[in-house]
A and B are shown apart, each in its own frame.
Chain A
Amino acid sequence: MKHRLQFAAKKLLRMALLLLGVSLVSFLLMCASPLDPLQTNVGQVALGSMSQEQVAQLEAYWGVDTPPVQRYVGWLLGVLHGDLGSSLLYRQPVLAIIGQRLAGSVLLLLTAWIISGILGMTLGVIAGACRGQWPDKLIRGYCLLISSTPAFWLAILLLLIFAVWLGWLPVGLSVPIGMDAASVTLTDRLSHAVLPALTLSITGVANIALHTREKMVDVMESDYVLFAKARGESMRSIVLRHGLRNVLLPGITLQFASISEIIGGSVLVEQVFSYPGLGQAAVTAGLGSDLPLLLGITVITSAIVFGGNLIADLLYGVVDPKIRRRAAKG
């Protein structure tokens, strides 16, 4: 147990350093951005009609006149006190916005993550077990097709089919337009989440299935599967008893590593579906030069991804008998 705690502490320290790095890089990129915050957010025409003082006031608000080092250090000090600052565009605390947006995205991200994990794993195991036969060819063909299709394009395709032609599902947003928040039902929310979640799942499946298939092929060619056959175990027993067991371990790492891909994918997909989630907020913040919001989103999503990897490492220790036995001894 002590061992495990030490391990977690080391990981957390590394996470803090990583987050610092990520925020610094985002900050530098933002500083290098060619977009002028005043021109984008206020507009050329409006700016022209303003007095000198008004412009100076706006510049102060958008932080254009503050030296970058001072800006970053100021932000960092705030963060250390638990204050991520306020969004310049929304005029609300960054944490509040992230909280709202995350609540919107979580349904999407979580379903996509679970579906792509289970489906990807299942398809990968089937393909690997039937290597070279039609199920394998079918699954591999599907995965290669999907991996070479951009997510936003797939999103548009699904939108056209299910929302425009068939009219089964809403075109965008997370709730019916113009409806009062109190009267929005769960069904409404779900039906709005289906298409974006489907897009994310479909793209996520391909990667997981292909990796799982590779591993499964290795397992099926291994000496221990050969011996299992020699002992008269059926194909079913080999796949379920030996295949799954040996694919699961790398599968855990794969599944948690895919969090970053799903979050990354959600940025584009939410944009296509005008789904007011974290991904969309990130795009808005980036284009609108909303530095505190962008840094906040970057740091929080990085923390989520890192947290996922940490869970994977800890789970690995629970599942892998080698680590488990070592932990039991001392």
Chain B
Amino acid sequence: MKPILEIEHLSIYFTQYDRGIRKRQLPVIRDLSLKICPGQVTAVVGASGSGKSLLAHAILGILPYNSHMDGVIRYDGEELTGKRAEQLRGREISLIPQGVNYLDPLMKVGAQIRKGRKGGGIREKCRQALKRYGLGEETEEMFPFELSGGMARRVLIASAVTESPRLIIADEPTPGLDVKAASRILGHFRELADAGAGMLFITHDLELALTIADRVAVFYAGETIEEAAAADFQEARGLRHPFTKALWNAMPEHGFIPLKGAQPYPGTVRKGCPFAEQCDRRRPDCKEAEEVPLRELRGGRVRCLHPEAAE
């Protein structure tokens, strides 16, 4: 199937000033590649600060002004330039943002969803979208401070699906919702995908991701370290990277075994595999290698020098 979105060798840097004078490029995402097909849910799983939100913002062309990116993003077979992203976002590509502070505090919910457009058509669409997530008409007249956390989340989701987008990027859409509401929303996502939309589902929760994802990409310190079919997560044996295995082992039904240590802050590892410090299968060359390439392995991809060691 032709992918709706292809990301190749994406890197994102922040420009920082050391003691006010020396300019420094701080990489937060390095050499990231990802594919999203229509009708599929691709989950991106990674810890806090691993660059997940930035990935979403990069696709939409709304990175902060002190950052820049390398690499290619292709949408529907054509390069997604800043200009093209500007035309497509909100129409074909839509974002469900991470937090409730993404709503204008002084504007009524309805006006935000309608984006300033008037007319019966958009009013009806807005009402339908809210209804789909269990929100009544009265919600339109409310200000964000009058919404509960869960309602605000549903408003954010509704605002993303008012148009019929072909690519939906959901950045941690479910925290703050109870299990029932969360699973209902995930069910809606599945429906949207089944109707032909491509879906990028960003989360830190592998277990949640596996409930709806077709493919899973695992982030570690701004890199994709493994990309695999959701089916590979049935057993630890199917997995390729030691970090993915550690995540798998940390799932409640697999023994709840936590991983020791913390992931390095982006840009602090200059050489070798960034996971080396935490890896239980570390070899001497892991900390020496100039670059750890992403390689194909058993129908997925992995960024590890010794993936076979697991077998």
**A residues neighboring B (CB under 8 Å):** 132, 221-224, 226-233, 237, 241-242, 245-246, 249, 320-322, 325
Contacts and interface: CB of A to CB of B under 8 A. Distances in A.
Contacts of A246: 104-106
Nearest to B90: A232
B115 A242 contact: no
Contacts of B64: 221
Contacts of B57: 226, 230
A223 B144 CA distance: 14
Contact of B104 (A221, A230, A245, A320): A245
Interface stretch (B95-103, B174-182, B229-237): B95-103
22 contacts: A132-B65, A222-B101, A223-B102, A224-B104, A226-B62, A226-B102, A227-B95, A229-B62, A230-B57, A230-B90, A231-B115, A231-B159, A232-B86, A232-B87, A232-B115, A233-B116, A241-B107, A245-B104, A245-B107, A249-B106, A321-B145, A325-B143
Interface in B81-127: 86-91, 94-95, 97, 99, 101-107, 115-116
B146 interface: yes
A223 B99 contact: yes
Of A224, A231, A233, most B-chain CB atoms within 10 Å? A231
A227 B97 contact: yes
B170 to A, nearest CB: 12
Q: Nearest 7 CB-CB pairs, A to B?
A: A232-B90, A227-B102, A231-B90, A230-B95, A224-B104, A223-B102, A321-B143
A318 B63 CA distance: 36
Of B62, B104, B105, B159, most A-chain CB atoms within 10 Å? B104
A160 to B, nearest CB: 41
Interface string B113-154: 001100000000000000000000000000101100000000
Contacts, number: 70
Interface in B37-69: 57, 60, 62, 64-65
Contact of A229 (B89, B105, B145): B89
A245 B103 contact: no
A232 B99 contact: no
A223 B156 CA distance: 13
A232 B102 contact: no
A299 B64 CA distance: 51
B107 A230 contact: no
Given A237-B115, A321-B143, A228 B104 contact: yes
Contacts of B65: 132
B97 A223 contact: yes
A330 B151 CA distance: 24
Nearest to B61: A229
A46 to B, nearest CB: 66
Nearest to B113: A231
B22 to A, nearest CB: 20
Given A226-B57, A231-B115, 17 more contacts: A222-B101, A226-B97, A226-B102, A227-B102, A228-B115, A229-B60, A229-B89, A230-B57, A230-B62, A230-B95, A231-B90, A231-B94, A232-B91, A233-B116, A241-B116, A321-B106, A322-B145
Contacts of A226: 57, 62, 97, 102
Nearest to A324: B143
A252 to B, nearest CB: 13
Contacts of B143: 321-322, 325
Nearest to A225: B104
Contacts of A242: 104, 107
Contacts of A224: 101-105
B154 to A, nearest CB: 15
Given A227-B97, A237-B115, A245 B106 contact: yes
Contacts of A227: 95, 97, 102-103
A45 B121 CA distance: 89
Of B60, B62, B64, B105, most A-chain CB atoms within 10 Å? B105
Of B87, B101, B106, most A-chain CB atoms within 10 Å? B106
Contact of B146 (A229, A249, A325): A325
Of B88, B91, B94, B116, most A-chain CB atoms within 10 Å? B116
Contacts of A232: 86-91, 115
Interface in B206-234: none
A322 B143 CA distance: 8
B146 A230 contact: no
B168 to A, nearest CB: 12
A211 B71 CA distance: 39
A230 B106 contact: no
B55 to A, nearest CB: 13
A132 B64 CA distance: 14
B18 to A, nearest CB: 21
A122 to B, nearest CB: 19
B262 to A, nearest CB: 26
Contacts of A241: 107, 116
Nearest to A229: B62
Contacts of A245: 104, 106-107
Contacts of A237: 115-116
A230 B97 contact: yes
